[in-house]
Amino acid sequence: MPVRPRLPVLAVIILMVGACASPAATTTTPTDAPATPTPTPTAAESDEPTPSVEPSESAKESTEPVSGELDMSLPSNFGSTDLTAGFTPDPFSFDLVSGGPIDVTYLGDDCRGYATAASDYDVTYTAGNQSLLRFYFVADTADTTLVINAPDGSWHCNDDAPGTIDPVIDFSSPASGRYDIWIGSYASGTENSGTLFVTELASNGP
């Protein structure tokens, strides 16, 4: 019996093996995939809070209102009292300190000295039959000035009363209401201690 040649069969086997091995040989598994770029977060998307910048001390001060004038709406520096016509003891007295940064000459007339924006003391007076309400200030050592805003909104000032260096302001037939009182010093920022007096008697004075 003739023997069939085996060469074609071997060739077919080699071709089949090559066909099966070819995809595996050519298929590669990527080891380094291209990195997906991470978007940079915007200010709105970022979880990190935007740091706030604290204003400087000068900036803070610039935001606060500075009138440069006396202001009756501010609380008084040393307090207040209520007096009714015929009050006793007469004179009423209260110790306080003069001075401040505001030049009161802008008020005109006899207004002089430096005072704070807030009044130093307030007196709410209930009028009666008395014909006089007098305010005066006696400093311990220095010369001082006196400024009063009356219940009708008018300004009254005095530097030296006749015969003295102490300031005195008189109201004839005084009205009921609040009297806002400032004690001025002759130099800005200078403080002078002394005593404020309020009286209805013409015999009382510095």
Task: Give pLDDT tens digits for 176-203.
Answer: 999 999 999 998 889 999 999 999 999 9
* pLDDT tens sequence across 78-121: 999 999 999 999 999 999 999 999 999 999 988 999 999 999 99
Sequence ranges of the domains in the chain? 69-199
For the CA atoms of 194, 200, 201, 202, the dihedral, rounded to the nearest 10 degrees, stands at 80
Distance of alpha carbon 113 from alpha carbon 91, whole angstroms: 25
Residue 67: the pLDDT is: 52
Mean pLDDT of 116-134: 97
Out of 29-43, 52-66, 89-103, 104-118, pick the least confident.
52-66
Mean pLDDT of the chain: 79
Q: Is the pLDDT of residue 29 over 50?
A: no
For the CA atoms of 99, 102, 108, 109, the dihedral, rounded to the nearest 10 degrees, stands at 10
CATH number of 69-199: 2.60.120.380
User: Residues of the chain with pLDDT > 90: what percent?
Assistant: 60
Tokens found for residue 94: 């209260």
Q: What is the pTM of this model?
A: 0.68
* Angle CA 186–187–189, to nearest 5: 125
The total number of residues shown for the chain amounts to 206
Residue 109: the pLDDT is: 80
In terms of average pLDDT, the best of 1-10, 42-51, 78-87 is 78-87
Q: Is the pLDDT of residue 11 over 50?
A: no
Distance of alpha carbon 29 from alpha carbon 35, whole angstroms: 16
